[in-house]
Amino acid sequence: MDKSSNTELLKFILESINLIKKRFEDITNSDDFLHTEYGMTQLDAISMRLQSIGEALKNIDKRDRAFLLEVADKRYWSNIIKTREIITHHYMDIDAETIFMICDEKLDDLEEKVSILMDKLKS
């Protein structure tokens, strides 16, 4: 992913957000991730996509931090990239409640910010 353009990375992020939302549709609380094999599969799949989003943003940040800062501060992007680090290096410590909260409360905001960045690239 490191060699992809910002446009390709942002498209990938939007695609990942859409897949996460689809996979999250049947999850009503964090326990839904833990009590069935289906829930565990969804937790794994969603976590992988969150990890990939963080990786894509990390690559954009390395290449063009000022671009990301046009729509959100450094702390906002850093938190997403840190989530990627946690999923990557501490997978056994993933907290279903945290993943639920990200899906339930944070994805729409991220999608909006990434869409704004896409629009900036088009203009």
Q: Can you tell me which residue has the tokens 């409640």?
A: 97
pLDDT band (50, 70, 90) for residue 97: very high
Q: Note whether residue 78 is domain-resident.
A: yes
pLDDT tens for residues 36-79? 999 999 999 999 999 999 999 999 999 999 999 999 999 999 99
pLDDT for res 33: 96
The answer on pLDDT for 2 being more than 50 is: no
pLDDT for res 86: 85
Q: How many domains does the chain have?
A: 1
Q: Note whether residue 1 is domain-resident.
A: no
Q: Note whether residue 62 is domain-resident.
A: yes
pLDDT tens for residues 20-38? 999 999 999 999 999 999 9
pTM of the model: 0.92
User: 98 is in which domain, residue-wise?
Assistant: 6-122
Which tokens is 84 given? Answer: 């990627």
